[in-house]
């Protein structure tokens, strides 16, 4: 199974980060205005333009630095994670422990036997895609545990940057 991040999902995440940064700037200036000048600054035209400009700048910065084309391929042999900058592969027999996402930790954590840790953030994918990943990982780990033997080739990290 291959799960690929959709462009709309990526853009929604980027817009949310930019909005949070803009709200932080607005709250900071409003608190300063209330404490020192006893007036709200959000109602003025100048600060409205400042907030709009800071949103556009934050969105542009986050969009330029975001990971693109995140793709996860989960097979009965192992996991392959790739995006524009990096490529990581490992086999199921190399996995020491798998920690599924929780409420506070929103990522899959794969601890490998060679003390390497690999995180797959769940916010890159839709809810349906996250359910597919959870179902597939659960089935494969259950199958490997009940099978008792692993008959697949060694898959290693290519180290590509």
Mean pLDDT calculated for residue range 81-104: 82
Half-sphere exposure of 1 (CA within 13 A, CB side): 13
In CATH, what number does 71-147 get?
2.30.29
- Listed by start position, the domains of the chain span 2-65, 71-147
72: closest CA among 6, 144, 17? 6
pLDDT at res. 105 = 78
**pTM of the predicted structure, to 2 decimals:** 0.56
| 48, pLDDT greater than 70 | yes
Separation of alpha carbons 109 and 106, rounded Å? 9
State the pLDDT confidence band at 153, using cuts at 50, 70 and 90. Answer: very low
pLDDT at res. 147 = 54
State the pLDDT confidence band at 159, using cuts at 50, 70 and 90. Answer: low
pLDDT at res. 145 = 58
Separation of alpha carbons 131 and 1, rounded Å? 12
pLDDT at res. 152 = 46
Q: Which two tokens stand for residue 136?
A: 């597939």
pLDDT at res. 149 = 43
User: How many Cβ atoms from other residues are within 10 Å of residue 1's Cβ?
Assistant: 12
Q: Which long-range contacts (CB under 8 A, 24 or more apart) does 138-146 make?
A: 140/74, 140/76, 140/92, 141/92, 141/98, 143/76, 144/92, 144/93
State phi, psi for 56 to the nearest 5 degrees.
-65, -45
State the pLDDT confidence band at 40, using cuts at 50, 70 and 90. Answer: low
Selected residue with higher pLDDT from 94 and 43? 94
């Amino acid at each position: 199974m291959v799960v690929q991040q959709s462009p709309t999902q990526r853009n929604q995440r980027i817009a949310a980060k930019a909005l949070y940064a803009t709200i932080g700037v607005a709250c900071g200036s409003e608190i300063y205005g209330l404490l020192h000048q006893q007036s709200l600054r959000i109602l003025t035209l100048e600060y409205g333009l400042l907030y709009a400009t800071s949103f556009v700048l934050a969105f542009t910065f986050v969009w330029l630095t975001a990971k693109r084309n995140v793709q996860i391929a989960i097979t009965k042999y192992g996991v392959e994670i790739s995006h524009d900058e990096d490529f990581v592969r490992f086999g199921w027999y190399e996995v020491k422990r798998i920690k599924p996402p929780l409420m506070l930790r929103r990522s899959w954590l794969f601890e490998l036997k060679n003390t390497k840790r690999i995180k797959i953030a769940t916010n890159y994918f839709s809810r349906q895609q996250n359910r597919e990943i959870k179902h597939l990982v659960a089935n494969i780990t259950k199958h490997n545990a009940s099978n008792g033997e692993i008959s697949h080739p060694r898959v290693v990290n290519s180290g590509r940057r």
